[in-house]
Every structure is written in C-alpha cells, then in structure tokens.
Structure 1
Amino acid sequence: MSNAISVLDRYQHYRARRFLKHEQTYANSLPSWRTQRRRRILVVGLALTFAVMAVISVLCAFGFRIAALAWIPATLIFLPLWVALQIVSGRQGDAPNATLDEFELAQRNNARSIGLAITQNLMLLPIFYLIIGSVSTDFGDGNIAYAGGLMTLTVLLIGGCTPAMILGWTRPDPDA
C-alpha cells in the first residue's frame, strides 16, 4: 500500500511542477483578456457554442445528418475560446491541490462539484435518448447512435468546462 501512495504522491508532484511551468509560460499571455468582463465574454461564447452543439445533436437525431457539418465550425470556435479561458483564468479549474491556497482550493472544489452535478444530470438526456431510441426502432437507424454520441460529447464538454467557466465568471479582476 505504501508503494501505491508513493506513486500517487510522485504523480501529484509531477502535475504540480508541470502546472507551475505552464503557468509561468502563459502568465503574461492575453493580458487584456484577464479582466472579469472579458472572461465573461469567453464564458458566454463557450455557452453559445455548447448550445449550437446541442442543437446540432438534436437535428441529427431527427435525421438531418447534414447538420453534422456544422459541428466542424462549432469545434473550431470552441477550441480557441476554451484555450483562451484556460489561459486567462490561470487554469484554476483543474489546478493541482499543491498549487492553490485554501481559498482558491475551496473555490475550485465548489466549481468542480457543480460541474460534476451538471454532468451527471445532463448525461441523463443522452442516456434516455439512447435507451428509448434503441428499443423503439429496429436498430437499423444509425442516426440514433450518431446523435447520441454527439449529445454525450456535448454534455461531457459542458461538464468538463463548467469549473473553469464558473471561476472565470465569478473571480474578480486581478490586482494591477
């Protein structure tokens, strides 16, 4: 058992070192986007991207497979928004414990808890869609699996991004 703890401790130390190295690398990136107002713009942009992804998955569920082509631009918009939010919020949503003070740790843990609850609750939508859709058809409809996959991916992205979005939205402007 002590060997397993040692391996976990070493991994956590590695994560903290890597996090601090990346934090130092990006500490001066996007300085004008570090205000609360600008972070909120990024959060709203991500939320709109997730709404588009959800609509695309529902359209695919109704047989509009051509709607899946809109997933590409949604992803191309999502990625820079997500990277920018991570940079300007200091990646506090997924920071290792050793790199945060008590207040930051409490905020991060609260945001993660909300993210987990959102993920668990929203995941029920694609689960029920897949269960009901698979028993009500002859299993020959590829739209069910494809749309269910898009729904699941959307929910996982929402849940995974929620902690950073909450912290980006709620944290005050950094000191000058």
Structure 2
Amino acid sequence: MTAATEPTTPLDRYRAYRVRRWLVREKQLTTMLPGWRTKRRRRALVITVIVALAALFVTGVLCAFGLQWAALFAGLSALVFLPSWTMVRIVSQAQDNAPAETLDEMEFAERETARSFGLTVTQALTVLPVMYLVWSGALFPEADASRTAYAGGVMILATLLAGGCAPAMILAWTRPDPEPEN
C-alpha cells in the first residue's frame, strides 16, 4: 500500500513536481531586482509593458494601411517588451502562474480574479484583429494577402500578449509595498 501523501497518478506526480520546482524558483526570485519591488517602480514597469504592447498593436494597424516601414516598430516594441515583462514577472514573484498549493487563500483569490480579468481582456481585444482578418479577406479579396496576414498577425499577437500578461500586471499593480526587512 502507498502512503496517503505519495502521488499516485501521473497528474498528482506532475503537480508535486511543479510545486517542488516552484519553491526552488521562488527562492531565486526573492533575491532578484530588490530595488524594483516598490509599488511605484512596479507600476512603471507595468506601464512600460502596456506601452510596448500598444506600440505593437499600432504597428499592425499601420502595416494594414500599407506602411511597410512600420514593421520596424514591431522589433522595437519587442526590445522594450521582453525585458520589462521579465522584470514585471520577477518583481511580482510570478504569482500569476504559481501552483495553488503554494498560495494562501487571499493570494489564491487575487490570482484567480486577475486570471479571470486576463481572459476577459484576451477575448475582448482579440475580437478586433480577428474581425479585421475575416472582413478584409471577405470584403477586399484583391488586397495584398501577405500584408493583410502580417498586419492581422501582429495585431493578434499584441492582443494575446496583453491578455496573457494582464494577470501579472494586475498583481504587480495592486500589491502593497513589501515589508521592510529588519
């Protein structure tokens, strides 16, 4: 017979592995970027991520209107987005993706609320570029297919990233300043 705490199914073993991996990662994150953990700096990072994603979306819109040079802004947006997004995840302890077993009741409730909002953001924002792709193909079949696909793809990428990043951004924005260490 197996002990009651020993995982028996593959899903249970994966959950236990994920918790162990999370606890190791959490120890690493607590020492990183200590000066960026204040509410003011976290909010500055969140705003930077939002601006980078908005710039990515605008790049798609400009490309839809045939401004080929605008595609350069997609790369610039990525250069701003990737480090600022990584920093947001670090300073918010990446709790948007933490296993439920590692969170207390309040953290779990906050995370679930943020995830729900992130899903709503994803669904609401992604409708616009999807409709662009559907209607541009149906109403303007003579339009440049590669330009339409690129523009729509960039807009969809921006909206999916915005929805996926929303939970961590919400948690980073709303969390109080950390307690000073004695």
TM-score, normalized by length of structure 2? 0.91
Match of 1:26 in 2: 29
Cα distance between partner residues in 2 of 1:92 and 1:66: 38
- Aligned Cα root-mean-square deviation (Å): 1.2
Match of 1:79 in 2: 82
Match of 2:168 in 1: 164
Cα distance between partner residues in 2 of 1:162 and 1:47: 9
Cα distance between partner residues in 2 of 1:158 and 1:111: 13
Structure 1 stretch displaced more, 139-148 or 99-108: 139-148
Cα distance between partner residues in 2 of 1:134 and 1:15: 43
Cα distance between partner residues in 2 of 1:85 and 1:66: 30
Could you report, residue by residue, the CA deviation over 1:18-41 in whole angstroms, capped at 9, with x for unpaired residues?
111111112111111001111000
The alignment status of 1:8 with 2:19, answered yes or no, reads no
1:46 counterpart (46, 49, 68): 49
Cα distance between partner residues in 2 of 1:91 and 1:33: 14
Cα distance between partner residues in 2 of 1:7 and 1:119: 31
2:149 counterpart (136, 142, 145): 145
Match of 2:95 in 1: 92
Structure 2 unaligned blocks of 5 or more: 1-7
The residue identity in structure 2 corresponding to 1:175 is E
Cα distance between partner residues in 1 of 2:28 and 2:142: 50
Give the % identical residues.
50
Match of 2:72 in 1: 69
Partner SS state of residue 9, structure 2: helix
Q: How many residues align?
A: 172
Structure 1 unaligned blocks of 5 or more: none
Q: Larger Rg: 1 or 2?
A: 2
Partner SS state of residue 81, structure 1: helix
Structure 1 stretch displaced more, 30-39 or 18-27: 18-27
Cα distance between partner residues in 2 of 1:148 and 1:119: 15
Cα distance between partner residues in 2 of 1:119 and 1:151: 12
Cα distance between partner residues in 2 of 1:139 and 1:23: 53
Match of 1:122 in 2: 125
